Amino acid sequence: MEERQQSQEEKREARRKRRIRNQILSYLVLIVLILAAAALIVLAVRKLKDDSSRQQEEQEETQSLIDDLLAEEGELETPSPETPSPEPIVEQTPEEKLDAIVDAAIDVMPLEDKVAGLFIVTPEAITGVSKAVKAGDGTRDALSDNPVGGLIYFTQNMQSEDQLKEMLENTKNYSLYPLFLAVDEEGGSVSRLAASGLAEKVDSAGKIGQTGDPANAYQAGVSIGTALSGFGFNLNFAPVADITSVDNSYMEDRCYGSDAESASAFVASMVQGLKEQKISACLKHFPGNGATTQDPHTGIAVSDRTAEQFRGEEFEVFRAGIEAGADMVMVSHMAAPALTGSNEPCSLSPAVVTDILREELGFEGVIITDALNMGAISEYNTSADAAIMALKAGCDMLLMPEDYEEAYNGVLEAVQSGVISEERINDSLRRIYRIKYADKVAE
């Protein structure tokens, strides 16, 4: 019994050992299989890497060959950093060139010179002499101290051809800035050169208007312009664009007549004749001195014309002159309550100067006052106040103040204190210098 029990236990032990041995063998086989699989994976990865490297090398070799071939054919350049293409050169228009010249000139001007450049005065006003007939050291010093925008000459300044030519040439050469050299040469009774015997006498506008042929006004412009340019003048305060729209008009025969349509043709023709001789024309006296019987030279002059009458007649004559190419328009000291709402002189009225002439009629040239020493201004205002009011109204230039030094100092102080901005002065100078430098730009 005991032997049988012992035999069974030995068998059980033997089975346990075989089971353990089989488990160990199984584990060993599994480990071998795992190792083998890992080895295979490593080999596969290496093969893939080798294939990829070989493929990359082949691609690089192929690209290198292609590059070499293209380079040999001149179809491939050595790569270089990209450089920006040069900006295309845009050709400036004559207008843009002129603006650039004008802006450059104004930028370098001190404020004192800018203010002086707004004035046109007699040579006596800056030299202090009683009658200027030559330009020497006194004129040189005067223009250095007072670089005005222009000088206006009268019969008393004109003695002979040689004297006048030399005086104007010297004056021009002594000025640091280009000058307007101006005169009143309308024809008829207002003709400074003809009155001094230095130019052919031209009929008055009234007589020319009576011919009914605007070609006669053109010929008058050519004749006057030729004489003026020959002496060295470059600005004529003409033609008169007023019409005798009231009975006993104080303008008498200085107008081409009373009919706006007819006068328009004569005014445009004279402007054309002056321009062809390189003389700047100045239309006068906006909105129309012919609309009053009173003379603003001696005191206040008032017109009772309605706004509709001015727009339907006087304005049309000035519009014709503007369209013909007039560089300037002179504003009258006449009062026109229908346009301003008061008896203030038109030259000091923003409603007339800016709202109507600049904006409504679209005039882009220089607006200048009539002579500020006239009674309509000087009896009611100081020279400084009149100059400041005219500029604030929109005028660009100030003609012949009663006291130039007072007017100049008044405007200068107004700009320095901010009553008038320097940019406002610059705007006027741009219009002035566009005329003065127009010949610097080739068409």
**Active-site positions?**
297, 370
* Residues in a beta bridge with 283: 329
* Residues in a beta bridge with 280: 235
Tell me the C-alpha distance between 387 and 393, whole Å.
Answer: 10
Closest CA to 428 of 400, 384, 390, 385: 390
Residues in the chain, how many?
A: 443
- Chain mean position to CA 143: 26
Q: Which two tokens stand for residue 337?
A: 């309550």
Strand 366-369 relative to strand 328-331, pairing: parallel
* Residues in a beta bridge with 330: 368
The amino acid at residue 408 is Y
Tell me the C-alpha distance between 417 and 411, whole Å.
Answer: 10
Contacts of 192 (CB under 8 A, 6+ apart): 153, 154, 155, 158, 183, 184, 185
What is the three-class DSSP state of 336?
coil
* Whether the bond into 94 is cis, omega within 30 of 0: no
Listed in order, strand segments (DSSP E) in 355-434 are 366-369, 398-399
- Rg for the chain, CA atoms, rounded: 46
Listed in order, strand segments (DSSP E) in 304-442 are 328-331, 366-369, 398-399
Tell me the C-alpha distance between 126 and 151, whole Å.
Answer: 10
Angle at 411 between CA 141 and CA 184, to 5 degrees: 65
Closest CA to 232 of 158, 302, 305: 158
Contacts of 117 (CB under 8 A, 6+ apart): 109, 147, 148, 149, 177, 429, 432
Strand 119-121 relative to strand 398-399, pairing: parallel
Tell me the C-alpha distance between 128 and 126, whole Å.
Answer: 6
376 within 8 A of 299, measured Cβ to Cβ: yes
